[in-house]
């Protein structure tokens, strides 16, 4: 999405990511990948749960994470073993969701151009 920031800004839109990661972990990611949009911390996925897109990792996936050196507990600062489903929401200035792309399959994500088109459709 970083590549879409300029186009979204030109359209008067603001890109914001919501993540269960602790702010210091997000800062590491921001610095590593030169991210220029806001990353808001949603500890414990409280807001994500309100949106209905929170899920708990299965025991099998927990083992895969542990075997791959992914310390979700340290990254997110809690022991819930929950993550948000990958989602992109286009919200208008009134706070109404006008477009949503949500898929429980982590590998299925819309291209940034889809988000840009959704924002253009608001105009």
Quote the pLDDT of residue 78: 93
Instruction: List, for residues 22-49, the tens digit of each pLDDT value.
Output: 999 999 999 999 999 999 999 999 999 9
For the chain, the domain total comes to: 1
CATH number at residue 94: 3.40.30.10
pLDDT bracket for residue 100 (50, 70, 90): very high
Among 52, 111, 109, smallest CA distance to 82 is for 52
The DSSP secondary structure of the chain, one letter per residue, reads -GGGHHHHHHTT---EEEESS-HHHHHHHHHHHT--SEEEE-GGGHHHHHHT-EEEPPHHHHHHHHHTT--HHHHHSSS--EEEPPEEEEE-TTS-EEEEEE-SSTT----HHHHHHHHHTT-
Output the pTM of the full model: 0.87
Whole-Å CA distances, 81 to 2, 39, 54, 70, 78: 27, 20, 10, 12, 8
Which range marks the domain in which residue 17 is found? Answer: 2-120
């Amino acid at each position: 999405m970083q590549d879409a920031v300029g186009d979204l800004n030109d359209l008067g839109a603001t890109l914001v990511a919501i993540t269960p990661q602790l702010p210091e972990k997000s800062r590491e990611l921001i610095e590593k990948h030169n991210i220029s949009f806001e990353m808001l911390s949603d500890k414990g996925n409280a807001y994500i749960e309100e949106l209905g897109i929170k899920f708990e990792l299965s025991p099998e996936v927990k083992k895969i994470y542990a075997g791959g050196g992914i310390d979700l507990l340290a990254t997110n600062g809690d022991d819930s073993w929950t993550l948000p489903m990958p989602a992109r929401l286009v919200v208008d200035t009134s706070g109404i969701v006008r477009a949503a792309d949500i898929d429980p399959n982590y590998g299925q994500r819309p291209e940034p151009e889809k988000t840009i088109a959704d924002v253009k459709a608001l105009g």
